[in-house]
């Protein structure tokens, strides 16, 4: 594993190694055991899109690994504008040991990996969010004791989270059902890739416009915001379109009795999910948020160690 750009690029063994190490690092952290696996190493963090969880989890995670993190926002680094991505990648490769980038264009992440000589971690693009899905899988494993054979239902916009959920679930042998309104489906190429992986893992990939079909008999229900960064002008229209896809008690009742609720946050209560669900006993959103740090530590340790 040279980079973390897409979960589709990883083997099942590589994904399992990330989750196993994340579990170990989380346990050591709770027990107060230091694990300075990246002592003396520096991670450059490029943020074209701001984020609470991504910045804090990577920064604290790098500190716990004994390394140093360098925050670079869009004013600090003119990625693809004032300076070519080729030059940026070459220069940063001389200074630091790894790059985490959270940006809009997926091609920016691919180009940094192509032109640089150090590991690149996809912190989020408009197309994918692999770090989030690794945290989701760790959370599901903690709650259910397994991944293979479970069913995850995603309800809402076919966005970067949904795309990476398709990759992640198909890779580990989880059934996944994605319900979106017409015109808001997941990327067709990613659906194809997930179905290719599902052939070897034995999982099912279901794409539908019916939220009840997706949620039926599910072990995990997943929601995300209907209005992603950069879509604020579409908010009123999107709320009308997506309201039938709200995760509420009625929809949740179609899943298994012990189903858990996930949300990558930030959440907008009363829109994609009601308060009684997201703040209820089956919600594990804060375990999920915490696990971002642990899986990212595992990824950094495996790539940069």
Question: Residues with catalytic annotation?
Answer: 102, 129, 132, 224, 264, 292
pLDDT for 138: 98
Q: For residue 247, report the phi and psi dihedrals to the nearest 5 degrees.
A: -85, 105
The DSSP secondary-structure symbol of 121 reads E
pLDDT for 255: 98
Q: Is the peptide bond preceding residue 266 cis, with omega within 30 degrees of 0? A: yes
For residue range 237-280, list pLDDT tens digits in order: 999 999 999 999 999 999 999 999 999 999 999 999 999 999 99
Average pLDDT over residues 61-80: 89
pLDDT for 82: 73
Banded pLDDT at 170 (limits 50, 70, 90): very high
Q: How many CA atoms are closer than 13 Å to the CA of 216, on its beta-carbon side?
A: 7
pLDDT for 231: 75
pLDDT for 144: 98
Average pLDDT over residues 107-122: 97
Residue with tokens 């189903």: 259
Edge-to-edge strands of the sheet including 260-263? 205-208, 175-179, 151-155, 220-223, 260-263
Percentage of the chain exceeding pLDDT 70:
99
pLDDT for 80: 61
Q: Are strands 120-124 and 205-208 parallel, antiparallel or unpaired?
A: unpaired
Domains of the chain and CATH, by start: 7-129+291-304 (3.40.50.1370), 132-288 (3.40.50.1370)
CB 152 within 8 Å of CB 133: no
CB 24 within 8 Å of CB 65: no
Percentage of the chain exceeding pLDDT 90:
91
Q: Kindly tell me if the per-residue pLDDT of 145 is higher than 70.
A: yes
Q: Kindly tell me if the per-residue pLDDT of 200 is higher than 70.
A: yes
Residues 112, 92: Cα–Cα separation, whole Å: 10
For the chain, give the mean pLDDT. 96
The DSSP secondary-structure symbol of 180 reads -
């Amino acid at each position: 594993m040279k980079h973390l750009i897409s979960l589709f690029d990883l083997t099942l063994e590589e994904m399992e190694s990330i989750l196993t190490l994340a579990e170990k690092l989380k346990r050591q952290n709770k027990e107060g055991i230091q694990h300075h696996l990246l002592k003396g190493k520096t991670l450059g963090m490029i943020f074209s899109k701001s984020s609470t969880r991504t910045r804090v989890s990577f920064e604290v995670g790098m500190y716990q690994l004994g390394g140093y993190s360098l925050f670079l926002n869009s004013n600090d680094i003119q990625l693809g504008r004032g300076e070519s991505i080729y030059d940026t990648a070459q220069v940063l490769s001389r200074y630091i040991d790894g790059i985490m980038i959270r940006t809009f264009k997926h091609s920016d992440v691919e180009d940094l990996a192509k032109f640089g000589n150090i590991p690149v971690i996809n912190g989020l693009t408009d197309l994918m969010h692999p770090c989030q899905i690794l945290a989701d899988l760790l959370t599901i494993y903690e709650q259910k004791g397994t991944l293979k054979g479970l069913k995850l239902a995603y309800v809402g916009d076919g966005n970067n989270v949904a795309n990476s959920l398709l990759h992640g679930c198909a890779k580990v042998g989880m059934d996944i059902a994605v319900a979106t309104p017409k015109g808001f489906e997941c990327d067709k190429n990613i659906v194809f890739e997930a179905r290719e992986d599902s052939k070897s893992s034995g999982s099912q990939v279901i794409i539908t416009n019916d939220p009840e079909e997706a949620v039926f008999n599910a072990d995990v229900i997943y929601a995300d915001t209907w209005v992603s960064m950069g879509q604020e002008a579409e908010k009123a229209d999107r709320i009308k379109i997506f309201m039938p896809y709200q995760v509420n008690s009625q929809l949740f009742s179609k899943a298994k009795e012990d189903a858990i609720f996930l949300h990558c946050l930030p959440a907008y209560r009363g829109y994609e999910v009601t308060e009684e669900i997201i703040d209820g006993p089956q919600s594990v959103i804060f375990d999920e948020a915490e696990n971002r740090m642990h899986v990212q530590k595992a990824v950094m340790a495996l790539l940069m160690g």
